[in-house]
Structure 1
Amino acid sequence: MGPTLGRRMLFATICAVAVATLYVAQPVLARIGGDLGLPEADLGRIVTAGQLGYLIGLALLVPLGDMLDRRKLIAGHLLLAGAGMALAAVADRLWLLLAGLALAGLFAVVVQTTVAFAADLADPAERGRTLGAVTSGVIIGILGARVLAGGLAALWGWRSVYVAFAVLLAGLTCLVLTLLPADPRDVRPAYGEVLASLGRLFRERLFLSRGLIAFFLFASFGTLWSGLALPLAAEPWHLSTAQTGLFGIAGLAGALGASRAGRWADAGRARLVTGGALVLLAASWSATGQASWSLWPVVVGVVVLDFAVQAVHVSNQHLLTTVYPHRTSSVIGGYMVFYSLGSAVGASATTAVFAAAGWAASSVLGAAFALCALIVWAVDRHTATETCPAPTDRCPQRAGAARP
């Protein structure tokens, strides 16, 4: 029997809150800098600290999910992430703030352990549906973090943002220990064996192809969400931070709409979902590229882009957890390395391109990332078909041909 609706909602909430800890600093950077007396050049380090901690956690902490009771592991990581948020809330010096954010980022990888646990608890016939529901929490956390942080900071200051998340994470820790089932393991591989297994994944065609698709997918995603505020704040719009944050609501609508992609994957249509969603992703940039002179097309483009990103993301994870059922934590953690690197590349590239050539050029960049993902999908599908002309789930290559 798979996770109940209540457990799926708990899993999704864990993902939303944990991933939001990586993004809540972005809308309040100016307030933090003013309060702590930081020069503008140092503000970027505040965001970077959490991201660096997250990357380290993906490599070193997520594989623990293939060894330990994941209920206790999730609870422990949530509590330690909350401690990082609490430390950031009381920080009166930059180094103390950075330490708190790095600690929170390190244990924010509880998201990947949660996704893997949810996938393992689900019946095979409903794994895609479960992943669709749970990973919706990730997109909600990414997009909703900016809106929530901006509102809290406007009412009670930037420190209230970190206090609120520390309390939320502590509350979720209690719910996890109360509501989730134990996760005993009959076989407990050594930590070194798990890390070696993770390293070997990067040499497997199926994993690499899904990872490269994720890299370009989230590079396109990062290009939009790290760059869209720039044309909206410029002429002729001059939108405030709060007004710009409202576009996140459109993104949420698209992401939640894509939760059905999991059911399509369960029905064996993941190949069509992945390819079709990547085409939609590329096409969405023709709408968002009009941000300098019209806003309604931007709303449409944001909805379509977030729908496409979530649909591909769910399909990728469905395939990987199906083909690697005995190391779901490692495979999800490794896959998310591509996600994290892609997001970082998109975020840094879009600001540089915008400064040099404007939003039209940034839109071309976002579309180019989407087309690269589509090329990887097409090449991988062709290669998998040649390697295993009769696809089955027992062969990774064949599974890749059946559900790319």
Structure 2
Amino acid sequence: MKASIDISHDKTLLWLMAAACGLCAGANYYCQPLVASIQQSFQIPQSEVALTVTFAQISYALGLLFIVPIGDIVNKAKFIPLLMLGATVGLALCAFSTNLYMLWAGTIITGLFSVAAQVLIPLVTVAIRPEKIGAVVGFLMSGLLVGILLSTSLSGLLSYLFHWKSIYILSALLMLVLAVLLKKRLPVVSITRMPYSQVFQSMGALLKHEPRLIFRSLIGGCVFAAMSMLFSTIAMLLTEPPFHLADVWVGVVTLVGVFGALSTQWIGRWADLGFNRKLTWLGCSILALSWGLLYLGGSSLAFYILGYGLINLGLAMVHSCNQNIIFQLNPIARSRINSIYMTFYFVGGACGSALGVFAWHHGGWTTTCMTGIALVIAAGFFVLIDQLYTSRQLKYPQ
């Protein structure tokens, strides 16, 4: 399948797409540094507020499973702005919530429709030349990951300066503006003609005939689960003794992860050159090291910041390699492939967030760190399985 247009030289459009990826993904994490403020606002237990991140990831996973595959069978140039409008509605509901249940409802709606980012990425892979996929997808992934990290910093800052709902108001306005701009500029690419009912049959066939998609999805789910444990515990750790940080400073701490997020374009280029295996193992090693530093960070903010920065680098490295591999499996089914992979990814994230809350309340920071290490070990196991499978395929090609 050939792209109807090569957008790799349209820097303005690529920046708009990267910004949209960041805004959509970041919309699911605003509450991370706001747990204490929301608790005080609604006068409810902290553990209930912390579940907001889990609900965001579960709804995002459902959107990935049931909405993103539609990108292969409809006009993405119209579909993406429509999804962003849905996310705008969810953000507006969060902004005007008067209780936790309204906040949860808005969070769920936002999570379902902010999967627009995961339709944008497959779109760009068929709107550029194949040899540029790694670099351009890496650029969009940088926007996505930076958006997640900046979302926590901005939400903490705006909560400190104004009110915790301010970030939802600002984000809703930005989402609406980007939706309008993208509707005018997104390219039209070829689509696969099939009814929606057959989409899931084809996804089942992909799982059956592409074992590497399963292996890489499991790897992604494990590493994002390890990262998501921090998402659900960062406010609980840093706002309590010995740190006593305000919302704004909790958000500032997460900024160190930007350096890891910005590395994805560079990692994508190296992945294009065939270094996926080495980069994946390096990423898992960095993740393991980061949890060791985070354990020390339970009593030292310096170690926590260093560990937080490294875990973002390790995650970016493994995730970029995963996407580089899966997008080569079946070029005409990239939305469906991305749907499968990202569903595993965010289900892992939701499980990681829930595990983080559970571990925190049943063993404190030590148990949280031990669980994080266990998830990294599980990811390493699936990397080994993937490596053995590819070695066997090379030795005994079918």
User: Do the two structures share a fold, i.e. TM-score over 0.5?
Assistant: yes
Out of 314, 326, 333, the position equivalent to 1:308 is: 314
Once the two structures are overlaid, the 10-residue window that deviates more, 230-239 or 80-89, is 230-239
**Aligned position for 1:118:** 124
Structure 1 distance, partners of 2:58, 2:354, is 15
TM-score, normalization: structure 1?
Answer: 0.89
Q: Does 1:261 align with 2:267?
A: yes
Structure 2 distance, partners of 1:26, 1:279, is 26
Could you tell me how far 1:159 is from its partner in structure 2? Answer: 3.0
Out of 192, 215, 221, the position equivalent to 2:227 is: 221
Q: Gaps spanning 5+ residues in structure 1: where?
A: 396-404
Once the two structures are overlaid, the 10-residue window that deviates more, 287-296 or 300-309, is 287-296
Please give the residue correspondences for 1:165-314 in structure 2 after superposition, counting only pairs within 5 Å: 165-185=171-191, 187-203=192-208, 204-314=210-320
Q: Does 1:337 align with 2:343?
A: yes
Out of 5, 8, 26, the position equivalent to 1:3 is: 8
Kept after mapping to 2: 8 A contact 1:321/1:331: yes
Report SS of the residue matched to 1:262. helix
Kept after mapping to 2: 8 A contact 1:290/1:360: no
**Aligned position for 1:71:** 77
Write the letter of the residue equivalent to 1:51: Q
Q: 1:87-109 CA deviation, whole Å, 9 max, x = no partner?
A: 33233455544433322211011
**Aligned position for 1:102:** 108
Once the two structures are overlaid, the 10-residue window that deviates more, 332-341 or 279-288, is 279-288
Q: Quick one: structure 1 residues 59 and 37, their matched pair in 2 at CA, closer, same or farther if it must change by over 3 Å? A: same
Q: Quick one: structure 1 residues 40 and 76, their matched pair in 2 at CA, closer, same or farther if it must change by over 3 Å? A: same
Could you tell me how far 1:349 is from its partner in structure 2? Answer: 1.7
TM-score, normalization: structure 2?
Answer: 0.90
Out of 137, 141, 149, the position equivalent to 1:131 is: 137
Could you tell me how far 1:158 is from its partner in structure 2? Answer: 2.9
Please give the residue correspondences for 1:377-392 in structure 2 after superposition, counting only pairs within 5 Å: 377-389=383-395
Report SS of the residue matched to 2:331. coil
Write the letter of the residue equivalent to 1:146: T
Could you tell me how far 1:36 is from its partner in structure 2? Answer: 5.1
Could you tell me how far 1:352 is from its partner in structure 2? Answer: 2.5
Write the letter of the residue equivalent to 2:377: L
Could you tell me how far 1:351 is from its partner in structure 2? Answer: 2.9
Report SS of the residue matched to 1:121. coil
Q: Quick one: structure 1 residues 25 and 126, their matched pair in 2 at CA, closer, same or farther if it must change by over 3 Å? A: same
Structure 1 distance, partners of 2:391, 2:285, is 21
**Aligned position for 1:398:** none
Report SS of the residue matched to 1:289. helix
Write the letter of the residue equivalent to 2:156: G
Q: Gaps spanning 5+ residues in structure 2: where?
A: 1-5
**Aligned position for 2:67:** 61
Q: Quick one: structure 1 residues 249 and 325, their matched pair in 2 at CA, closer, same or farther if it must change by over 3 Å? A: same
**Aligned position for 2:153:** 147
Structure 1 distance, partners of 2:56, 2:367, is 29
Structure 1 distance, partners of 2:236, 2:94, is 28
Could you tell me how far 1:17 is from its partner in structure 2? Answer: 0.5
Write the letter of the residue equivalent to 2:359: V
Kept after mapping to 1: 8 A contact 2:279/2:318: yes
Q: Tell me the matched-pair count.
A: 391
Q: Quick one: structure 1 residues 32 and 359, their matched pair in 2 at CA, closer, same or farther if it must change by over 3 Å? A: closer
Q: Quick one: structure 1 residues 190 and 267, their matched pair in 2 at CA, closer, same or farther if it must change by over 3 Å? A: same
Q: 1:223-265 CA deviation, whole Å, 9 max, x = no partner?
A: 2333344443343333333222222111111221343110001
Q: Quick one: structure 1 residues 59 and 92, their matched pair in 2 at CA, closer, same or farther if it must change by over 3 Å? A: same
**Aligned position for 1:361:** 367
Q: 1:118-174 CA deviation, whole Å, 9 max, x = no partner?
A: 222232111111111111122112222111112222333233222211111110011
Q: Does 1:326 align with 2:332?
A: yes
Q: 1:329-363 CA deviation, whole Å, 9 max, x = no partner?
A: 11111111111121122222223323333323322
CA RMSD of aligned residues (A): 2.3
Q: Does 1:352 align with 2:338?
A: no
Kept after mapping to 2: 8 A contact 1:231/1:291: no
Kept after mapping to 1: 8 A contact 2:58/2:350: no
Q: Quick one: structure 1 residues 255 and 356, their matched pair in 2 at CA, closer, same or farther if it must change by over 3 Å? A: same
Kept after mapping to 2: 8 A contact 1:85/1:162: yes
Structure 1 distance, partners of 2:168, 2:301, is 32
Q: Does 1:375 align with 2:378?
A: no
Kept after mapping to 1: 8 A contact 2:228/2:350: yes
**Aligned position for 2:3:** none
